[in-house]
Amino acid sequence: MAVTIKQMSLLVSVFGVISFILGVVAENKKPASGTPIAGKGGWICKYPSDPTVALGYLSAVFLLASTVCGYLSVFYPYKGKSIPQKQLFSSTNFVVFFNISLFVAGLALTFLLWPTIQEQLHLTKNFHLSETDCPTAKTGLMGGGAFLSLDAALLWLVALMLADNVREDYFEEVEEKGAAEGTKLQA
């Protein structure tokens, strides 16, 4: 079964939306702080049970899946016809959206992983020598990463549409050249 542009765009969209939803839920479920409990020689922070770390990592995985599908969909040879990369990158609009898509996906991944890893470190290294507020990861970063992951998926869709336009123009030119050469051979 051949893969179509619609199927690839659906994959990019679904993975991007799932990443967005998981990131927003992770941001909303993150506890404000933990409870300091006096321990032997210091303070132990007890945090409520929450799915923030798991949801943050899942959001990052779905963002990566969306980005990989978006990247591959641009270069995939649909209907068995491939286009030279030089031809794709000769379109200024495509180059701009391709690079912006990569940048936004990387920024989204950073905004998702940074607070997720930080939250995981707070949960595992919960012993402090002095009484603290029992910190958690910075609020808002994961939600921002979720919105950026949705933006990245949408930008990959735009890059895919632009690549499809370049692909159609390229194959029209190839057919016109072939028809012109066929006419010359008959004469």
Residue spans per domain, the chain: 5-32+51-124+133-182
Q: pTM, whole model, 2 decimals?
A: 0.87
**Pick from 2-6, 126-130, 150-154, 159-163: least confident:** 126-130
Residue 184: predicted pLDDT: 61
- Mean local confidence (pLDDT), 117-121: 92
- Mean local confidence (pLDDT), 165-187: 75
Residue 187 has pLDDT above 60, yes or no: no
Residue 94 has pLDDT above 90, yes or no: yes
Helix (H, G, I), strand (E, B) or coil at 105: helix
In order, the DSSP letters of 21-70 are HHHHHHHHHS-S--EEEEETTEEEEE----SHHHHHHHHHHHHHHHHHHH
